[in-house]
Amino acid sequence: MSGFLSMGGYASSVWPAVALTFGIIAWNIVAARRSFAAARAEARRRIAAGDPS
């Protein structure tokens, strides 16, 4: 296990690269859902206000 974590001496390159990529994947999932939710909330607000423009 420690051999796996040390990545043959390249731990300081491999793990930050993996962490960064998965951080970006996670952020993209959150951001895409937020963007859609915001658009839907805005549409709902407009409809509730009876303003179709």
Partner 1 sequence: MDWTWFHRFGSPPHLYGLAGRLVPWFAWPAALAIAAGLYGGLVLAPPDYQQGDGFRIIYVHAPSAWLSLMAYTWMAVAAAIGLVWRMKVAHAMAASCAPIGAWFTVAALCTGMLWGKPMWGTYWVWDPRLTAELVLLFLYLGYLGLRSAIEDPQRADRASAVLAVVGVVNVPIVRYSVEWWNSIHQAPSVMKFGKPTISWPMLTPLLIMFVGFTLLFLALVLVRVRGEILRRERQARWVSEVIAA
Partner 2 sequence: MTPRRRRLVLVLAILAGVAIAGTLALQAFRENVMFFFDPTQVAKGEAPKGERFRLGGMVEKGSVVREPGKLEVQFVVTDFQRSVPVHYAGVLPDLFREGQGVVAHGKLGADGVFTADEVLAKHDENYMPPEVTRSLKSPAQPAGSARPSTPAVAPQG
| Near partner 2 by CB under 8 A: residue from 1, 4, 9, 50 | 9
Smallest separation (angstroms) from partner 2 to the CB of 7? 9
Q: How many CB atoms lie within 10 A of CB 7?
A: 13
Nearest approach in angstroms of CB 42 to partner 1 is: 8
Question: Do residues 21 and 13 touch, judged by C-beta distance below 8 A?
Answer: no
Burial label for 36, CB within 10 Å (0-12, 13-18, 19+), is: exposed
Please report, as ranges, the residues that interact with partner 1 according to CB under 8 A. Answer: 4, 7-10, 13-14, 16-18, 20-22, 24-25, 27-29, 31-33, 35-40, 42-44, 46-47, 52-53
